[in-house]
Amino acid sequence: MTTSMTIHGAARTVTGSCFELRTGPSKVLIDCGLFQGSRTLEALNYQALGFDPKSVGAVILSHAHIDHSGLLPRLVAEGFSGSIWCTPETADLLEFMLADSGRIQENEADRRNRRRDRIGDDAIEPIYTEADAMAAWRLTKPVPLGEWFEPAPGFRARLWNSGHILGASSVELETGGVRMLFSGDLGPDNKTFHPAPAAPEALDYVICESTYGDRRRDKVSIEQRRTLLAEEIRAARAREGNLVIPVFALERTQELLLDIATLCDRGEIGNAMVFVDSPLASKATTVFSKYADRLEDTGGRNVFAHPAIRYVTDVAESIRLNSMSGAIILSASGMCEAGRIRHHLFYNLPRRDSTILFVGFQAEGSLGRIILDGAQRVKISGRDVMVRAQIRRIDSYSAHADQEELLDWIAQRGPIKGSLFLNHGEAGAIEALSQLAKARDLAPSIINPEIGETYDLAAGLPARRTRAGRSDLQQAVGRDWQNSYADLAVNLKRRLGDIRDPKARQAAIDEMRRVLDDFAAHGSSRGSQGNHR
């Protein structure tokens, strides 16, 4: 029987991971993630899934991050009733991760509907609800690493440690005589809490993430990383403002807590006041505590109960943090796209004494990326915000392997008999990794797939594309017009003010109106004419 694979997400972008595998009438998904980033990219979460959820026999989930798991509630709401196979740790984390995502969908829809600039627009419906999220969590079926299981007729699978976050795995899959491996997200060397990734060799197909496919990081040990963090904390405290750290609630928060607790115990950062202002991060930390005996680097201590750390429980307490100075505030989400971090950015970005420290990947089009790229003004919940705070970055907390580590991991999977697919990366990262993989002859066929493509897979042979990708989906990837609009809007008044002559200023406004009216009336024809110049 023919085996096929369709890519539904995380192709030339780092979110929305989802692969559909079909052998005869049987079908499974590897991951079912939410698209995150620009409004255009997020809109893909509302589009048709590209397959009938009722026809899917099972989902195999690599890990609990929302860009890999966040569309499971919608899948279930639309008729999926099979099992969601994952590690026990992932199942425990999903109880909180999916519920939180459901609340975010409901709250974000409500917030956008109440914005003044949306008066008269159709109401936005949440992608799914908290009830949908809990229905999905109840379908999880935990399976230990290394144990073979049959998720659906004609499929056999087992999970391998990927070294990324608690419970994260790579997925080995056998079907139709084909043997393949999905990397999931791969952790770097010197990763806190977890051993190095492990996986089998001699596969027909390897599907590998490429998040940092264009970047080689300096090799930094955990001790060296703590030194960098201590320097940033001391510098922020010297400015006497708050240190705001956008964090991913899962793993990044717990790594920072471990390092901050260690620095506090050594007396390297004084009497630090640390606030974890993320209900999800607090709940995820309880799961880390449950598996504390399996975590590396803690020295057997319960670092998450350190007296310097306070877990913020309610909104009123969160709001009170804005009247403080000298606090260390860890708040989600890590890319600043939702959650309480936007509240803290609104109040701290305009403060010259505050510091915003980024410790994680910022996807193109996300608010975090826009701030990190040097924007002087940003829009938060429809309001203009000046950026006066110190903007800092530490790269050594990444939960992803860098370029050299990815190449080494791929090489260790050899010989790859058919094709190497590179996914879960922005276009430049994938292309850079692809060129190096070709130069090292890591596979007879190297493919950088697009969203919507389908490939036929056969043992020992390169994959054969049978359906092209969807150009409308690819256009949603990366920085979109709404990012450009926000940048223009927040700087427009200042730029008009730079025109000293009032008549010239009015002429500029009139010209902008004329251009907009012209494009509204003739935009399509202007665009097509421009393509032939």
* CATH code, 277: 3.40.50.10890
Q: Which pLDDT score, from 0 to 100, does residue 486 have?
A: 58
Interval 150-177 mean pLDDT: 97
Interval 147-151 mean pLDDT: 98
Q: Which range (110-119, 444-453, 463-472) has the least confidence?
A: 110-119
55 and 137, same domain (yes or no):
yes
Interval 478-490 mean pLDDT: 59
Whichever domain contains 184, its CATH number is 3.60.15.10
Q: Which pLDDT score, from 0 to 100, does residue 489 have?
A: 66
Q: Assess if residue 491 is contained within a domain.
A: no
Q: Which range (107-116, 154-163, 476-485) has the least confidence?
A: 476-485
Q: Which pLDDT score, from 0 to 100, does residue 116 have?
A: 64
Which pair of structure tokens corresponds to residue 125? Answer: 């419906």
Distance CA 359, CA 363 (A): 13
| Contacting residues for 247 by C-beta, under 8 A, at least 6 apart | 253, 256, 278, 281, 330, 331, 332, 334, 341, 359, 360
Q: Where are the alpha helices (DSSP H) in 267-339?
A: 279-290, 315-320
- DSSP helix/strand/coil, 422: strand
Q: Assess if residue 488 is contained within a domain.
A: no
77 and 150, same domain (yes or no):
yes
Confidence of residue 471 (pLDDT cuts 50, 70, 90): low
Q: Which pLDDT score, from 0 to 100, does residue 108 have?
A: 84
Q: Which pLDDT score, from 0 to 100, does residue 530 have?
A: 39
Q: Which pLDDT score, from 0 to 100, does residue 109 have?
A: 86
Q: 308, 305, 313, 302: which is closest to 327 by C-alpha?
A: 308
Final residue of a domain: which of 474, 507, 528? 474
Final residue of a domain: which of 439, 474, 509? 474
279 and 319, same domain (yes or no):
yes
Looking at the structure of the chain, the number of domains it has is 2
CB 146 within 8 A of CB 268: no
Find where tokens 């970055």 sit.
393
Interval 342-348 mean pLDDT: 96
313 and 172, same domain (yes or no):
no
> How many Cα atoms occupy the beta-carbon half-sphere of 458 within 13 Å?
7
- 91-101 pLDDT, tens digit each: 999 999 999 99
Q: Assess if residue 261 is contained within a domain.
A: yes
Segment of 185-199, 459-473, 487-501 carrying the highest mean pLDDT: 185-199
Look at residue 195 and tell me whether its pLDDT is greater than 90. yes
Look at residue 532 and tell me whether its pLDDT is greater than 50. no
Interval 3-20 mean pLDDT: 95
- Domain span at residue 70? 3-216+399-474
Confidence of residue 517 (pLDDT cuts 50, 70, 90): confident
CB 339 within 8 A of CB 312: no
Q: Which pLDDT score, from 0 to 100, does residue 527 have?
A: 46
Final residue of a domain: which of 367, 393, 419? 393
Look at residue 65 and tell me whether its pLDDT is greater than 60. yes
Amino acid making up residue 100: D
Confidence of residue 245 (pLDDT cuts 50, 70, 90): very high
Distance CA 204, CA 418 (A): 5
Confidence of residue 528 (pLDDT cuts 50, 70, 90): very low
191 and 243, same domain (yes or no):
no
180 and 53, same domain (yes or no):
yes
Confidence of residue 447 (pLDDT cuts 50, 70, 90): very high
Interval 466-479 mean pLDDT: 70
Q: What percent of the chain is modeled with pLDDT above 70?
A: 93
Q: What percent of the chain is modeled with pLDDT above 90?
A: 72
Look at residue 292 and tell me whether its pLDDT is greater than 50. yes
pTM for the full predicted model: 0.84
Q: Taking the C-alpha atoms of 114, 381, 482 and 279 in order, what is their torsion angle to the nearest 10 degrees?
A: -100
Is beta strand 328-331 parallel, antiparallel or unpaired with respect to 274-277? Answer: parallel
Q: 327, 330, 400, 329: which is closest to 362 by C-alpha?
A: 400
Q: Which pLDDT score, from 0 to 100, does residue 177 have?
A: 96
